[in-house]
Amino acid sequence: MQISLAGKAALVTGGSKGLGLAMARTFAQAGADLAIVARRPDVLADAQAQIEAAAPGCKVVAVAGDVSQAAGIPPVWEQAVGGLGKVDILVNNAGTSATGAFESITDELWQSDFELKLFAAVRLARLALPGMKERRWGRIINVLNTGAKAPQPGGAPTAVTRAAGMALTKVLAGEFAPHNVLVNALCTGILVTEQWEKRHQTRAADLSFEQFVTEQGQQVPLGRMGDPQEFANLACFLASDAASYITGCAINVDGGRSPVV
């Protein structure tokens, strides 16, 4: 089976690092043009260069913006569509892993988490869907985590906002299926990304990063942490015509670690 995204244009939020960069690069290698969105222009420029080197001839539009703010969404969308002409594939990937004791989480923290992880997806989908409906082809992929299905103590606010994202996925999938717009979610487990590099420094600075990754991987039935490319491969499949009968799903990409399917 050959996966092709030739002629398609994708918008990936949080596209400068980790899972977002891996997905953007993989989409480009499959033939798509890209708009990658992140807050830091210098990191965006580096990501753009990496994608262009991996997929010569691909158009890559780097958009500096903050999707956690309602006012930041229209400029991001206008720059992406201005550079690409359309958006066929929307990947809502921007997010952080915010967790803490419930009693310590303020209203401000709850609100900021919902703005970044839920409302950014809502607002971008609202902009993307009219064009997808008109062309009768669209893909939306919401990046969540397995806490959306199996929340753990101390997992708020992320587990709650990610669960809301899973509900959003199902609502959109049902409503827009008649227009050939497919909406799915990917639920991350523990994958080697920049977030885990930061955790290494705070949790186990006495270990090398390689030792830390090996240690963390023992929590996973497969015995290792995942690679962003493994995640990106599935995202690329869902974004393609090869996945034309899959919608409304939330798929775990976690090496079997989640207690629920």
* pTM above threshold 0.95: yes
Instruction: Determine how β-strand 9-13 pairs with β-strand 60-64.
Output: unpaired
Chain centroid to CA 10:
12
- Going from N- to C-terminal start, the domains of the chain cover 9-189+231-252, 195-225
For residue 195, what pLDDT band results from cuts at 50, 70 and 90? Answer: confident
Contact in structure between 230 and 23 (CB atoms under 8 Å): no
pLDDT (tens digit, 9 = 90+) per residue, 196-216?
A: 888 899 888 899 999 999 999
For the chain, what is the mean pLDDT? 97
The CATH code of domain 9-189+231-252 reads 3.40.50.720
What is the structure's pLDDT at 248?
98
pLDDT at 175 over 90: yes
Contacts of 69 (CB under 8 A, 6+ apart): 115
What is the structure's pLDDT at 112?
97
**Closest to 27 (Cα-Cα) out of 261, 235, 242, 171:** 235
Q: What residues form DSSP beta bridges with 185? A: 142, 250
Distance CA 32, CA 235 (A): 13
pLDDT (tens digit, 9 = 90+) per residue, 20-64?
A: 999 999 999 999 999 999 999 999 999 999 999 999 999 999 999
What is the structure's pLDDT at 202?
87
Contacts of 26 (CB under 8 A, 6+ apart): 229, 232, 233, 235, 236
